[in-house]
Structure 1
Amino acid sequence: MAKLEIFQFPTRADNYGVLIHDPETGATASIDAPEAGPILGALDQKGWSLTDILVTHHHGDHTAGIGALKSKTGCTVYGPAREAGLIAGLDVEVKEDDTVSVGHADAMVIETPGHTRGHVSYYFPEESVVFVGDTLFSVGCGKLLEGDAPTMWRSLSKLAGLPPETAVYCGHEYTGANCRFALTVEPDNKALQARAAEVAGNDAAGRPSLPTTIGQELATNPFLRASSPEIQARLGLEGQPLDTVFAEVRRRKDHF
C-alpha cells in the first residue's frame, strides 16, 4: 500500500488545515473544512484534486468551507451521524468502528464526544496517524462545550490507548499557551519542561509544534495524566477517580 502524503497548513486565526493524499489512486481528503480558500490554495500548490472531506464535528470553524468545496469539486463529505442535522452538505454519516477509505488507505472512526455531542476522530492504523479535531490538542484538550468531564475523559482515554508512535493532527495550534498552563499543575515534569522549551523555540521561529504523537502527549499533557501523583497532590485530589482529577484540570484551564 502506498504511504499517505500529509500536508498541513495554517488557516483562519489559529486553525490548521490538513490534506491527506493517496498517490496510488489520486484520492485526496481534507480533514474538516475551516474555509475554502486556503484549502483550494493548498490543493493547487500540491497539484491534488479533492475527493473527500472528513468532518470531525459541526463547529463553523471546521465546516464553513464545505459548501464551496463541494460545489467546486463534487467531493464526498463524511461526518458524525450524531451531528448530521448540524452539518450542511453531509453525504455519509459515520459512527464508532465504521471505516472510511481515502483511496487505498482505511480510517477507523472513533467516537470522541465531549467537546461536542457527536465529535469523531479518524484513525489510520496502517499509517500510524490520527486526526482528532478539537478533542485532543498538543499539551491540551478541547473545552467541554456539549459534554461533561466523564464523557471527555472516556474519549481521551480511547485516544491515549492508541500506539505511542501514532502521529496526532489537531484542529488548532495552542501548544505554547497549553505548556504554560500545564507547568502550573505539573511543574516538575522533566518531559513537559523540555517540551515547553522546544515549543518556545518553535513559536519564536514561527514554526508549528504539530503534529505531536500519542507518546509525547502521554508524557506531557496534563489532560491525559490524571494518574500523575504530582498532579493529584497539587490539586488536593490524591486517590480520587481519574475523571474527577481530569475535571479539576479542565476547570483550572478554563480559568487560566
Structure 2
Amino acid sequence: MTITDISASLATRRPSRARGTVYGSAATHGSSALAPAATERIQPEHAAAAPSPVRAVPAGTEARGFVLYVGLGEDAAAADHVELARLVGELRALTSRLAPSAQTHAAVALAPAGAGGRDVDVVRRALGDPAVQQPAPEAEADTGIVIDLTRKRVALGDDIAPLTYREFELLQHIVLREGTTVGRCDIIDALWDADADDRPNERTIDVHVRRLRAKLGGYAEIIRTVRGAGYRFDRHADVTVLASGPSPDRF
C-alpha cells in the first residue's frame, strides 16, 4: 500500500485504485501520535457545545488533534455521486468553520486494482493506524511474507521458502521494479549471460515463474501476470521487503 497527497493522486490516474482518505486536524498529521488522543462527537450547531470525551486523556499527555479514516472506494464514490476531492474539501471547510485554528492534512490510500477487503480496513492499514498494526490473537501464527533482499531469503511466517538461487534472483528482479511490468526478454537479459548454455527462451521463463509461485504458497499472487507483457510485483499489506545499503540488484 502507498500513500500520496490527495491533490497528486486525484490529478494522475494510476493502476492502483483509491480506497479512501484520512482526514486529520491540528499539527499531528499522522496516526502514530494520535494513540492517546481523546475524541469528541461533533454536536449539531443548535446543541450546547459541551466537551464529552469518549475516553480520558492519560496523565502527562494532551490531545493534539484527531484522525478520521474514511473508507470509500472510487466505485462506491461514483455510486454515491460524489468525488473524493469534493468530499475532502467539504470536510476541511466544515473543520475550518467549526474550529478556525485547526490545521488540516489529507491523504489518499491506494491499493492494487481488484484488491479485496473493506475499504476502511485498507485505509487504516495503509495509513498506519496503530490499532491495526498488531495481528489478532487467532492470526498470530501468520506473520505474512518477508522478502529479505540482504540475506537472500523469503520468510513465510516462521518458515523459509526453499527458493533456489535462480528463483530468488527472479523474484528480486521483479520486486525491485515494483509497479512496473517486467518483460520476459528483460528478465532473460538481466539474469542470464548472452552466451550462457542454459539461457532460456520466453516460454521457459513462464516455467520458472510457475515454480517460484508454487514455493510462495498463499502469497503466489504477489507476482502477477500481465497478459501479453510480462510480470509485475503487487505489494499487499502483509508483504514486507527488507533491504539495506545500495540496491542488491545487478543493475
TM above 0.5: no
Q: TM-score, normalised by structure 2?
A: 0.28
In terms of fraction of residues, the more helix-rich structure is 1
The structure whose Rg is larger is: 2
Q: TM-score, normalised by structure 1?
A: 0.28
